[in-house]
Amino acid sequence: MNCVKVALNLPLDKLFYYKVPEELTGQVKIGKRILVPFQKKKLIGFVVEEVKENHKNLREIIKIIDDFPPIGNDLLLLGRWIAEYYCCSIGQALHSVLPIQYPFKADKDKLNRKKSSFSLPVSHKCRGEIDALLKEGKVILLRVENWEKRIDLYLQLIKGVLEKNRQVILIVPEVSYIPPLQKALQNFYKGEVSVFHSKLSPRQRYNQWWRMKRGEVDLAIGTRSVVFSPFPKVGLIIIEEEENLAYKQIEVPRYHVREVAIKRAEIEQFPIVLFTQSPSLESWERGKEGVYKSISFSKDVKNFPQVEVVDLRKERDRIFSSPLTKTIRQELEKNRPVLLFLSRRGYANFLLCRECGEVIRCPNCNIGLTFHLRDDLICHYCGYRQKAPQVCPLCRGKELHRVGVGTEQVEAEAKKRFSGIGIRRVDLDAINSPLAYKQLLNNFKKGKSDLLIGTQLLIKEEILQRVSLVGIILIDTLLNLPDFRASEHVFQLLMKIKKLMRGDGKIIIQTYNPEHFALSALKKGKEEAYYEEEMKIREELGYPPYLHWVRILLEGRNKDKVEEAARRTEEKLKGEKISFLGPSPCPFSRIKGKYRYHLVLRDESLVRIREVLKKRLISLFVHFSNVKVAIDVDPLRTM
């Protein structure tokens, strides 16, 4: 071997040749990281191929980083697939597969392995069902609402796999899911567990990766990157809440954990189980078409809470309608806690000038500033803040009016209407640490909070199981987001609330659009009807999953350069066989001082879109000056 092909963490769709110096002969192996010269810098890359033929004028490898390949052939193959599918370089993909900075050195310590065990009684019938599921070979979609039932199924699945001396990867959408899951599992599972997520220090991540690589543990729990756990022999991947938006990576490579996990399961030949309460539209469609094996553990519709939709067009008060106010009073008189949900924190969404109609906007992001009682005006995208002006900065008008509903405004109104009770606001401004949330939960369990007001932080089973009423203040703010998935995300949110609440509870939804089909399906308990209607709309408009979408996002501080880059991209696409939308300013057209334009490429074949990207666009993007280009395959958000 005279030289090797190296994948560098660069946005360049190519591999680089490097000469192996004589003193390193025999030490350079596929999968190892090496330090190489690149232009005037030194970069770390992965060896992906050995080349025996001679190449002249090659630069030499500086040094080898690892004593052994930290990722094996299967993960290397997975990295190549990620690069191909998500339109990034192999180097970018492999640096995501191995999210570790430290070098891997030869280990001289004795393997510290403890045998895993269960104190779990399993009926023959249940065990037979679980074994049958694992032998299916397909992706298994389990629709389960009840937390205890989900834990029971986790344990059954994990036990069956560990008994075959294989390992299990359990993926959750957020770090906050891990502690309650660990606690529930520890009651039955007596073995080592590796916890892996972005909140760990680099050294902690290295240690956990090393334990998995050595086979010291049989079970790993973590967020997105745990999908790349280097276990010797994976037997199962479980994904909790597969529909959660957090599973889509927002940096390069912009992969979706579900798709990566399915591909890994295909490469290494093991089953994968997706848990859900209300599946993503893609998973629902795959289950219907037989691509997934879909199994429901849903409870009877009679056990769901009652749903009431209030038409705000007939109400005087847009925050506390008559039905909501009346029901809150009834529940409080019975000493039953109430939860009020809204999509935004703060006191009011915007500050509006009634004379010129302009909203007070962030100078960096061009987005309406959120009005806070304590902190005045704040931009929740870049953090900019200012005092609320006395006059309009554009027309000097004095008629400034608060528009929209925020948590602080609802809290203030609630204190006026419902005196003598414990009212607690729960949003990222009030609860800014795991300890603060834990304290909130403990106080709530002790009955110190009668009325909780907050955002997505409150949509947890441990809270919803304890309240008798959930009031949705204004669902329109979510339904009307400029995103084609807005309806799906709202429906999943409302179904999650409905399924996690007690059967004797009640949900009151306030809206200016009570006829919306998502709300009608929720109220009638017709979940399948919602999916079918949404699929019809997607088909008519050419939205996923009927067509593949690839979003091209262009960002830069110079508006003219961003517009020019968007125009040149459009020119390159004209005459191609695929269709596209745009270019146009993004709904959030300026964030953190950067102007944003986007185009959406769409076609029945993702292969055709990738061919156009490689043939017409990638070479163009390299020459854009001071304009950052992002390619997002299967985007979950388009704002």
CATH number of the domain that 576 lies in?
3.30.70.600
Confidence (pLDDT) at 5: 94
Confidence (pLDDT) at 258: 98
Do 292 and 306 belong together in one domain?
no
Do 318 and 438 belong together in one domain?
yes
Do 146 and 241 belong together in one domain?
yes
Do 267 and 337 belong together in one domain?
no
Which of 157, 154, 167 has the alpha carbon at shortest distance from 136? 157
Number of domains in the chain: 4
Cα separation, 304 vs 277, whole angstroms: 13
Task: Indicate the pairing of strand 469-472 with strand 338-341.
Answer: parallel
365 occurs within a structural domain: no
Give the containing element (helix H, strand E) for 131: helix 124-135
Domain assignment of residue 260, given as a range? 117-296
398 occurs within a structural domain: no
Do 144 and 75 belong together in one domain?
no
317 occurs within a structural domain: yes
Exposure string over 269-302, b if 16+ CB within 10 A, otherwise e = ebbbbbbbbbbbbbbbbbbeeeebbbbeeeeeee
Do 34 and 78 belong together in one domain?
yes
Which one of 494, 515, 537 terminates a domain?
A: 537
Tell me how far CA of residue 465 lies from CA of 63, 461, 566, in angstroms.
57, 6, 49
Residues in the chain with pLDDT values less than 70: 1, 106-130, 133, 298-302, 344-349, 365, 367, 373-375, 380-383, 403, 429-434
196 occurs within a structural domain: yes
Confidence (pLDDT) at 430: 67
Confidence (pLDDT) at 106: 65
358 occurs within a structural domain: no
- The answer to whether the beta carbons of residues 225 and 99 sit under 8 Å apart is yes
CATH number of the domain that 58 lies in?
3.40.1440.60
Q: Which two tokens stand for residue 369?
A: 């500033």
Has 126 been labeled as part of a binding site?
Answer: no
CATH number of the domain that 468 lies in?
3.40.50.300
Which one of 274, 296, 318 terminates a domain?
A: 296
Do 415 and 446 belong together in one domain?
yes
Do 136 and 230 belong together in one domain?
yes
Has 3 been labeled as part of a binding site?
Answer: no
Has 88 been labeled as part of a binding site?
Answer: no
Do 198 and 272 belong together in one domain?
yes
Do 191 and 286 belong together in one domain?
yes
Do 292 and 305 belong together in one domain?
no
Confidence (pLDDT) at 125: 46
The secondary structure of 539-605 as a DSSP string is: HHHT-TTTSEEEEEEEEES-HHHHHHHHHHHHHHHTTSSSEEEEEEEEEEEEETTEEEEEEEEEES-
For the chain, the 3-state helix, strand and coil shares in percent, each to the nearest 5, are 35, 25, 40
Give the containing element (helix H, strand E) for 44: strand 41-51
How is residue 428 annotated by DSSP?
T
- The answer to whether the beta carbons of residues 506 and 497 sit under 8 Å apart is no
Q: Could you give the count of Cα atoms lying within 13 Å of 592 in the half-sphere of its Cβ?
A: 5
395 occurs within a structural domain: no
Do 183 and 128 belong together in one domain?
yes
